Structure 1
Amino acid sequence: MSKINYYTEEGLKKLKDQLYDMETVQRPKISEQISEARDKGDLSENAEYDAAKEAQGLLEMRISKLKDVISNARLIDESEMDSSKALILSNVKIKNLGNNAEVTYTLVAENEANLKEKKISVDSPIGKGLLGKSLGDIADIETPRGIIQFEILEITR
């Protein structure tokens, strides 16, 4: 059974665009490569043919997996979410109580996480520690260096 994942509209659109590219651009290119290699004669000693067939197999596997992910994807309905708690798609401003550093993260699904954009996964240690917390709560986050305490300063959508 496949795992259900939650996505924003933007994240789900990226997946669908990626699938569309694989099916309409990459698949025909590989078919063309196979056809060209086949035209070159003896297939038993044709490295180009073998490479193209292998690329085709890998692409078909990726397409299959992506279709499975998309079929088990669920859109997140923000209108139903409690804005007083840190939940997926919340912007959470936190303060590290050890060094007083403040940072704001957006909690997102694992596949949409991007640290450069300050989007962290709800499955990451910090994300898990912040989930369900309210304004003013202290989150104890288990890290390789020990427990770090973060105070929730602000929660927005």
Structure 2
Amino acid sequence: MSEKVPMTPEGQARLREEMRRLKEIDLPQVVKDIGTAREHGDLSENAEYHAAKERQGMIVARISYLEQTLSRAEVIDPSKLSGSKVQFGAKVKLANVDTDEEQSFQIVGPEEADLKVGRISIASPLARALLGHEVGEEVRVNMPAGPRTYEILEVSYA
């Protein structure tokens, strides 16, 4: 049995939209590009043809990956969760005990993680260390840059 992939409803919608765009826009365009490049003659030295074929392969592979991921999706709606313990979907506000620097993250599925917008993967060392802990607790995390200690300031599921 395939392992389930946890994701939020928003993450599932983003992946479905990416798959729709790949199937309806990108793939037909690259097929057109391949046809155009074929018309230019000798394919053995036709860089446009080879580039388009490579792009087609990458698009088909991404579509296949998205289909597999979505078929294994376990959609968890954080707005239906509550409590003070950190779990999937939680928005967590942390303070670095050593620097007093505060950071906020939402714990999401691996396909949704995007540090630039504050979403970390449930598979990340930080998320794994936080799971099951509550507001007020200190959590020691072995990060790639070395150990850190965080205090959990807030947990919400909005």
TM-score, with length taken from structure 2: 0.85
Map of 2:103 onto structure 1: 103
Secondary structure of 1:100's counterpart equals coil
Map of 1:125 onto structure 2: 125
Which residue type is aligned with residue 4 of structure 1? K
Matches within 5 A, 1:1-150: 2-78=2-78, 81-150=81-150
Of stretches 38-47 and 21-30 in structure 1, the one that deviates more from structure 2 is 38-47
Aligned length: 157
Q: Distance in 2 between matches of 1:6 and 1:53?
A: 33
TM-superposed CA distance for 1:14, in Å, is 0.8
Q: Distance in 2 between matches of 1:46 and 1:79?
A: 53
* Percent of paired sites with the same residue: 38
Q: Distance in 2 between matches of 1:117 and 1:131?
A: 20
Asked if 2 retains the 8 angstrom alpha-carbon contact of 1:2 and 1:68, the reply is no
Which residue type is aligned with residue 91 of structure 1? K
Choose 1 or 2 for highest CA Rg.
1
Q: Distance in 2 between matches of 1:15 and 1:44?
A: 36
Q: Cα deviations across residues 101-144 of structure 1 (Å, max 9, x unaligned)?
A: 22222222222222232222222221111111012222111124
Map of 1:153 onto structure 2: 153
Secondary structure of 1:136's counterpart equals coil
Going from structure 1 to structure 2, the CA distance change for 1:69 and 1:144 (only over 3 Å counts) comes to closer
Q: Distance in 2 between matches of 1:37 and 1:117?
A: 40
* CA-based RMSD: 2.2
| Structure 1 unmatched runs, 5+ | none
TM-superposed CA distance for 1:38, in Å, is 2.6
TM-score, with length taken from structure 1: 0.85
Secondary structure of 2:136's counterpart equals coil
Secondary structure of 1:111's counterpart equals coil
